[in-house]
Amino acid sequence: MTPNKFKKLLTRTHFSKDLKNLQIGSDVRVAGWIEDFRDIGKLGFLTLRDVTGAIQSVLLGPNLEKAKTIPRQSSILVVGTIKPTKSREFEVEVSVKEIHVYSEAIHSLPIDPTGRIESNLDNRLDSRALDLRNPKISKIFVLRSQLLKIIRDFFILRGFIEVNTPKIIGSASEGGSNLFSFDYFKRKGYLAQSPQLYKEQLILSLDRVFEIAPFFRAENSHTVRHLNEFLSVDIEAAYLDYFDIMDIIEELVKLTLKHTIESGYHADLPNSESKSFLDVVSSPFPRLSYEQCLKDLGEMDEKVNFGDDLLDSSLRKLGEKYNSFYFITNWPLDLKPFYIHENDENPLLSKSFDLQYGYLELVSGGTRQHDVSKLKHRLQDQGLSIDSFTNHLKTFEWGMPPHSGCGLGFDRLMMVLSNLPNIREVVLYPRDTSRISP
Amino acid sequence: MTPNKFKKLLTRTHFSKDLKNLQIGSDVRVAGWIEDFRDIGKLGFLTLRDVTGAIQSVLLGPNLEKAKTIPRQSSILVVGTIKPTKSREFEVEVSVKEIHVYSEAIHSLPIDPTGRIESNLDNRLDSRALDLRNPKISKIFVLRSQLLKIIRDFFILRGFIEVNTPKIIGSASEGGSNLFSFDYFKRKGYLAQSPQLYKEQLILSLDRVFEIAPFFRAENSHTVRHLNEFLSVDIEAAYLDYFDIMDIIEELVKLTLKHTIESGYHADLPNSESKSFLDVVSSPFPRLSYEQCLKDLGEMDEKVNFGDDLLDSSLRKLGEKYNSFYFITNWPLDLKPFYIHENDENPLLSKSFDLQYGYLELVSGGTRQHDVSKLKHRLQDQGLSIDSFTNHLKTFEWGMPPHSGCGLGFDRLMMVLSNLPNIREVVLYPRDTSRISP
């Protein structure tokens, strides 16, 4: 079979970003959309953009006449020759020989993807595909894609095996109120809110596992940092304790920060104008015990009693004192889920940590309880039914090694790295209590 | 904060696979489970296994006495010294100085993870965590993890951006009968069965996207090749046609085959004993048009009328004739979803392809219809409601470029590569009409 006419028409030779490396006089075929067009008489300048950047193309004669008739944002192919340019914005320009329209944009458009006219977030999300033609928006998702690769490679290098745990689960074991439920072939099914039980089971044999996957929470809250579907980075490792996991996570978060700097994404973090990204990368994240936090807060006239959770207001104060990223360790056991190990030195405390960025919780982790009789007691203490954990508990009778792990909210990390105040900015099609489409 | 006693106890120095590279006399601490133990009088041999392999440890005196009391499959730490060995199975052995038990296995065990006593698949899946202590089983999932990385890196190298599309969707647009539905904050939500519409929308701006994610089908069928939750590899690319996508997929599948050979996983493919894996990698996959298939089948006394789908029996015959992997192209348009482009040469046909492995469909793809008025006609022809596609169709009015893509069933590819007859073998916690836990 030979490629058909359609195929030949499609053949582009370069992305926008590649043109500056070509020799003057090279022939190119570049595809993208018309971002801008200026007609200055005998000459026209058309800015063609693709996801890798923009190029200036120069039109004369019939091509100029044709360009006048094509609406902005239409999808086109430009055939031409690389020429030097006088423009300050571009390194070269394309002298156009031929212009082909694949698909015309029908105006008026719901939002302005050049960003000149600002739209509110709701309107942008309603027209997300068009919103992404704004390079400021698309680069968030290019960064997101790069960081996912960096995170996976980081864990693979350290002997973690990627696993896929089920998103459909048969029991609402960790407390059912936050789970979406549905009919699953005459039984009740639920959407998983984390891979917690599965990843613990898997380290029995696979030793170190990670998963990056969507999870679901039926929580009826509407904030800038919660979504009902979110991407979670989960790890679990045998023979490591929570200090090891903190070391791993600190190294990982610094790596993502470093990449964000190097990719030129952002120069500064919010709430820490005095601290540059590079400072954060080069100094250790403070590790405060819960009890130290209470002490610090007391000194800041914020009284918190032992056993109380730390509210946003308290976390914001700690974030101001300790700057950007900090760990809170050794939380009261009662504040933590049943699977968290008690602390050896004080059984009222736990082997746990959260990684905070100011008030924002990014990571939660700890050493797990691997003694099955203690696990059963903890379940009872928390008013959970041992019977509904039968499948899980039996795996702890097969020689379950000690283990630790954590979950990182990837969308929240993206909020921090891209310095954006709303989690919806860094998710392509966010899901909240009032948004389920597009 | 200083590492506590627990941490010190945990410190292992090596994985099993690393020991053969150490000098004789090196001190090691290796953690894992007791796979086997032989007491031959004054001497005992304990086989300790972790996910990377097994080691032989030799016990004397009090350590031998202690080892006699530890049930098999218990999780232990062995402290010892590397010694030369007379064993044919191992390259070195560990002379044990100290043995520590983390967690005892409680016998009897539901299955035998050494594989000496075979268990049926249902029992194995009921005790999946223990099943994975069988190295024949765990290596399937190590391969799976490696292939996921290979596939992602393949697409990233070719300019594809990884995206995360929503799994919760607001309308059952592609025909509702195969979707799980649930209450989503007083509205109806559905579980996505593919990222099809989202990935098409996204190439408007992101040009080339890929996603590897779980999707869901509420299909009430019980076969060896269907699951109700499955991992799908999806790509979509602007300015490419379906021949380009076939080239990309052929290269990718050959890469996964090559890795499977090189990792020593399997020497032969099923149903093609005469063809080694290497032959498959070095020759092009046959590309048969649907019409050629009808002709071939006619010659094999299997009459199929134009417009009829190809049944398993027909596909098996084609698989035997053309060996292992083959494409079927240019299916009748009526057999394909509304978003597939009609063929330029014959409007009754489509720009589509399936990649088959014998009777098993691994990939389905094609050039998409990007003309919004034609799309609307196709929806009407298929009895679908244009209104329920409003959000999707409007993106085609914003200068939608021509584009193509496909979806690959990753679990099915794993079946083929690992030469296993049931898709449940290659999924950690499979979900079918009768299985929702563990």
CB-CB under 8 Å, A436 with B170? yes
3-state SS string over B227-269?
CCEEEEEEEEEECCCHHHHHHHHHHHHHHHHHHHHHCCCCCEC
DSSP, collapsed to helix, strand or coil, labels residue B210 as: strand
CB-CB under 8 Å, A132 with B103? no
Strand partners, B365: B353, B406
pLDDT at B259 over 80: yes
Look at chain A and count its residues: 438
Q: Which of A12, A228, A437 sits opposite B391 (nearest CB)?
A: A437
Which of these, B250, B368, B271, B258, lies nearest to B316 by C-alpha position? B271
Q: How far is CA B438 from CA A173, A297, A417, B9, B230, in A?
A: 12, 44, 37, 32, 16
Residues of chain B with C-beta less than 8 angstroms from the C-beta of A390: none
The CA distance from A417 to A36, in Å, is 30
> Is the separation of the CB atoms in B54 and B16 below 8 Å?
yes
Q: If pLDDT is split at 50, 70 and 90, which confidence band does A206 have?
A: very high
Give residue A267's pLDDT. 45
The CA distance from B209 to B248, in Å, is 14
Cis peptide before A57 (omega within 30 of 0): no
CB-CB under 8 Å, B399 with A73? yes
ipTM over 0.90: yes
What is the CA B373 to chain-centroid distance, rounded? 38
CB contact residues (below 8 A), chain B span 322-341, against chain A: 329
Where is B394: in which H helix or E strand?
A: helix B390-395
The CA distance from A333 to A322, in Å, is 24
Q: Which of A71, A149, A159 sits opposite B152 (nearest CB)?
A: A149
B135 in contact with chain A, both atoms CB, cutoff 8 A: no
Residues of chain B with C-beta less than 8 angstroms from the C-beta of A396: 103
The CA distance from A120 to A22, in Å, is 40
Give residue B9's pLDDT. 59
The CA distance from A150 to A412, in Å, is 17
Q: Who's near B120: CB < 8 A, 6+ residues apart?
A: none
CB-CB under 8 Å, B238 with A31? yes
Instruction: Chain A: give the shortest CA distance to residue B185, in Å.
Output: 6
pLDDT at A96 over 50: yes
Instruction: Chain B: give the shortest CA distance to residue A370, in Å.
Output: 8
B306 in contact with chain A, both atoms CB, cutoff 8 A: no
Q: Which tokens is A288 given?
A: 């405060």
Residues of chain A with C-beta less than 8 angstroms from the C-beta of B12: 239
> Is the separation of the CB atoms in A325 and A284 below 8 Å?
no
Classify strands A168-169 and A187-191 as parallel, antiparallel or unpaired.
antiparallel
What is the CA B77 to chain-centroid distance, rounded? 33
Question: Domains in chain A, ordered, with CATH?
Answer: 5-103 (2.40.50.140), 135-426 (3.30.930.10)
Q: What residue in B sits closest to A164 (Cα-Cα)?
A: B428
Give residue A322's pLDDT. 87
Residues of chain A with C-beta less than 8 angstroms from the C-beta of B392: 438
pLDDT at A153 over 80: yes
The CA distance from B140 to B128, in Å, is 13
The CA distance from B376 to B374, in Å, is 5
Q: Which tokens is A67 given?
A: 């360009």
A306 in contact with chain B, both atoms CB, cutoff 8 A: no
Residue corresponding to tokens 């019939």: A62
Q: If pLDDT is split at 50, 70 and 90, which confidence band does A2 have?
A: very low
Cis peptide before A108 (omega within 30 of 0): yes
Q: If pLDDT is split at 50, 70 and 90, which confidence band does B267 have?
A: very low
Tens digit of each residue's pLDDT (9 = 90 or more) over B220-234: 989 999 999 999 999
Q: What residue in A sits closest to B232 (Cα-Cα)?
A: A164
Q: Who's near A225: CB < 8 A, 6+ residues apart?
A: A360, A412, A415, A423
> Is the separation of the CB atoms in B340 and B368 below 8 Å?
yes
pLDDT at B6 over 80: no
A222 in contact with chain B, both atoms CB, cutoff 8 A: no
Give residue B90's pLDDT. 96
Instruction: Chain A: give the shortest CA distance to residue B187, in Å.
Output: 9
Q: What residue in B sits closest to A31 (Cα-Cα)?
A: B239
CB contact residues (below 8 A), chain B span 3-32, against chain A: 3-7, 10, 12, 15, 31
Give residue B181's pLDDT. 96
Percentage with pLDDT > 90 across chain A: 88
CB-CB under 8 Å, B170 with A163? no
A102 in contact with chain B, both atoms CB, cutoff 8 A: yes
Instruction: Chain A: give the shortest CA distance to residue B250, in Å.
Output: 16
Q: Is the dihedral of CA B340, B344, B348, B352 positive or negative?
A: negative
A164 in contact with chain B, both atoms CB, cutoff 8 A: yes
Residues of chain B with C-beta less than 8 angstroms from the C-beta of A33: 399, 401
Mean pLDDT of chain B: 93
Residue A250 sits at the vertex; the CA angle it makes with A293 and B53, to the nearest 5 degrees, is 125
CB-CB under 8 Å, A127 with B207? no
CB-CB under 8 Å, B166 with A431? yes
Where is B314: in which H helix or E strand?
A: helix B312-322
Q: Which tokens is B205 given?
A: 């701006």
Mutate to test the interface with B, among A103, A216, A287 (most CBs of B within 10 A): A103
Q: What residue in B sits closest to A112 (Cα-Cα)?
A: B398
CB contact residues (below 8 A), chain B span 239-278, against chain A: 239-241, 243-244
Q: If pLDDT is split at 50, 70 and 90, which confidence band does A1 have?
A: very low
Strand partners, B350: B342
Range A42-66 average pLDDT: 97
Give residue B322's pLDDT. 87
Q: In what order do the strands lie in the sheet with A187-191?
A: A168-169, A187-191, A181-184, B181-184, B187-191, B168-169
Instruction: Chain B: give the shortest CA distance to residue A140, in Å.
Output: 11
The CA distance from B389 to B173, in Å, is 7
> Number of C-alpha atoms within 13 angstroms, CB side, residue A300?
17
- What's chain B's Rg over C-alpha atoms? 27
Give residue A262's pLDDT. 85
Q: What residue in B sits closest to A210 (Cα-Cα)?
A: B145
Q: If pLDDT is split at 50, 70 and 90, which confidence band does A213 have?
A: very high
Give residue B10's pLDDT. 64
Percentage with pLDDT > 70 across chain B: 94
A390 in contact with chain B, both atoms CB, cutoff 8 A: no
Residues of chain A with C-beta less than 8 angstroms from the C-beta of B183: 180
The CA distance from B327 to A347, in Å, is 63
Strand partners, B93: B56, B83
Instruction: Chain A: give the shortest CA distance to residue B16, in Å.
Output: 12
Q: If pLDDT is split at 50, 70 and 90, which confidence band does A265 have?
A: confident
CB-CB under 8 Å, A133 with B4? no
The CA distance from B132 to B139, in Å, is 9
Instruction: Chain A: give the shortest CA distance to residue B310, in Å.
Output: 22
Q: Which of B207, B400, B433 sits opposite A51 (nearest CB)?
A: B207
Range B198-217 average pLDDT: 98
pLDDT at B33 over 70: yes
pLDDT at A177 over 70: no
Amino acid B28 reads: V
Taking one residue from A and the other from B, the number of pairs with CB-CB distance under 8 angstroms is: 305
Mutate to test the interface with A, among B157, B205, B210, B227 (most CBs of A within 10 A): B205
Amino acid B64 reads: L
Which of these, B51, B39, B56, lies nearest to B143 by C-alpha position? B51
3-state SS string over chain A?
CCCCHHHHHHCCCECHHHHHHCCCCCEEEEEEEEEEEEECCCCEEEEEEECCEEEEEEECHHHHHHHHCCCCCCEEEEEEEEEECCCCCCCEEEEEEEEEEEECECCCCCCCCCCCCCCCHHHHHHCHHHHCCCHHHHHHHHHHHHHHHHHHHHHHHCCCEECCCCCEECCCCCCHHHCCEEEECCEEEEECCCCHHHHHHHHHHHCEEEEEEEEECCCCCCCCCCCCEEEEEEEEEECCCHHHHHHHHHHHHHHHHHHHHHCCCCCECCCCCCCEHHHHHHCCCCEEEHHHHHHHHHHCCCCCCCCCCCCHHHHHHHHHHHCCEEEEECCEHHHCCCCECECCCCCCEECEEEEEECCEEEEEEEEECCCHHHHHHHHHHCCCCHHHHHHHHHHCCECCCCEEEEEEEHHHHHHHHCCCCCHHHHCCCCCECCECCC
Residues of chain A with C-beta less than 8 angstroms from the C-beta of B231: 164
Say what the pTM is.
0.96
Q: What residue in A sits closest to B243 (Cα-Cα)?
A: A3
Cis peptide before B438 (omega within 30 of 0): yes
The CA distance from B95 to B286, in Å, is 56
Cα first-last separation, chain A: 39
Residue A21 sits at the vertex; the CA angle it makes with A16 and A25, to the nearest 5 degrees, is 90
Which backbone phi and psi does B62 adopt, to 5 degrees?
A: -65, -35
pLDDT at B4 over 50: no
Instruction: Chain A: give the shortest CA distance to residue B127, in Å.
Output: 8
Give residue B266's pLDDT. 63
CB-CB under 8 Å, B394 with A127? yes
Instruction: Chain A: give the shortest CA distance to residue B67, in Å.
Output: 15
Buried b (16+ CB within 10 A) or exposed e, A45-75: bbbbbbbbbbbbbbbeeebbebbeebebbbb
Tens digit of each residue's pLDDT (9 = 90 or more) over B392-424: 999 999 999 999 999 999 999 999 999 899 999
The CA distance from A393 to B317, in Å, is 48
CB-CB under 8 Å, A133 with B433? no
Q: What is the dihedral of CA A397, A399, A402, A404, to 10 degrees?
A: -70
Tens digit of each residue's pLDDT (9 = 90 or more) over B45-65: 999 999 999 999 999 999 999
